[in-house]
Amino acid sequence: MPRSRGHPFSFTPNPETVSALRIGIAGLGTVGSGVLRLLDRQRDLLSDRAGRAIEIVALSARSRDKQRDVDLSSFKWYDDPVSLAEDSSIDVVVELIGGDEAPARELVEAALSSGKSVVTANKALLARHGVALARLAEANQVSLAYEASVCGGIPIVKGLREGLAANRISELHGILNGTCNYILSQMRDTGRGFDEVLAEAQALGYAEADPSFDIDGIDTAHKLAILTALTFGTEVDLASVHIEGIRHIGALDINYADELGYAIKLLGVARRAEDGIEQRVHPCMVPKHAAIAAAEGVYNAIVVQGDFVDKVNFVGRGAGSGPTASAVVADLIDIARGIRLPTFGVPADKLVKAVPRPIENRTGAYYLRLMVVDRPGVIADVAAVLRDHQVSLESVLQRLRAPGDNVPVVLTTHETSEARMTAAVAQIGALEVVVESPRVIRIEQF
């Protein structure tokens, strides 16, 4: 397929409207199989919308003989996925293998270097190597498209790069992982503990056998790093993302949050401040009336703050065969139409190195849960530590009384700095009357 040698980014329809866009797909798991089904079922619709047919030429996966619900016999097969990049009959490589190194990285690099556009759902690859791959795509005047890598069927990449392109974005926050959102929603709705709900999520296929990638915040961090680059025109900087997961969230915290008028969500937050750009992933208490609190179960939600549009909300299914396949094929339609945009919204040589804003600079309110020995003077001792660190209390909850036994005490603070709160919690945790590590959750007033 000829490529334009004019302006480095093309916005005009491809003149070869009669020729099909020929694709090769590497990876035939849940998403890959979904792409095959979607391309088959929507064939005529896609041809009308793209101005040309989208045809599969070749496939690659770990096993050719695995039982699948689609007929693969009419396609070329490559045992080595990197070989897709060498097939001259392919215009676009769809990478659905996953992982940030070989073979996915080798395949994408080879495809871009050979003048083939790439569509990928690989968030880890982009979070670690996105800028280098964007430069490679631009050098070869092809597309690197990745709508499916962040939030499945939600068109957040197109929303930021195209729909909100006229705005300066000051903040983005969102639920970027459906597994964690399902667990926290079920804990609240059923009163069950974290371990029990996690086991259920694994049985239902919402969580992997090893769930650490999701519940420890790593998946959310990959997505946030990509969105931050796209939102602020910065290089992808995964190393600067502050990451916490949800393992420490207990049923008590869920109940107290509800009583205080909050919902607990694992959020990714990217915000521009005078002293840098903050990127953080951690559980947050958000007001029940906040838009982000309404997203339940496996749904994702993102709120973007722009200077001309104010707040824009994106909500939808963030994973699964259908939603993610929809995002993959949306990118294929753009390529078929001849639309080629900068990978991260601006040319790669205009991406700047962001000044990371450390988590210690965060200011806001906090929830603090303590398990203490119930005896006179405990609250006074805790309050004295907070006072010494210039942390002001807003409320104290102690529902159970059992003199001499261990009881929970919940405190919320007025706005203070992360550095002060961290120092105060460390000193409180060392008090003789505190029998468990304090549980701290940041409160965000969205």
Distance CA 331, CA 343 (A): 12
Helices (H) and strands (E) in the chain, counts: 13, 17
Burial class of residue 18, CB neighbours in 10 A (0-12, 13-18, 19+): exposed
Q: How far apart are CA 415 and CA 435, in angstroms?
A: 26
Cis preceding linkage at 81, omega within 30: no
Residue 342 tokens read as: 């900068």
Strands (E) located in 234-362: 242-243, 262-273, 276-287, 299-306, 310-317
Dig out the tokens for 170 from the structure.
Answer: 């000051």
CA distances from 48 to 2, 37, 54, 168, 336 (A): 22, 18, 10, 34, 11
- Find tokens 């490589």 and name the residue: 93
DSSP labels, 87-121: -TT-SEEEE---SSSTTHHHHHHHHHHTT-EEEE-
Is 171 within 8 Å of 283 (Cβ atoms)? no
From residue 293, give the alpha-carbon distance in Å to each of 46, 246, 282, 290: 35, 16, 15, 5
Distance CA 268, CA 225 (A): 9
Residue 311, beta-bridge partner list:
305
Phi then psi dihedrals of residue 425, to 5 deg = -65, -35
Which positions are catalytic?
223
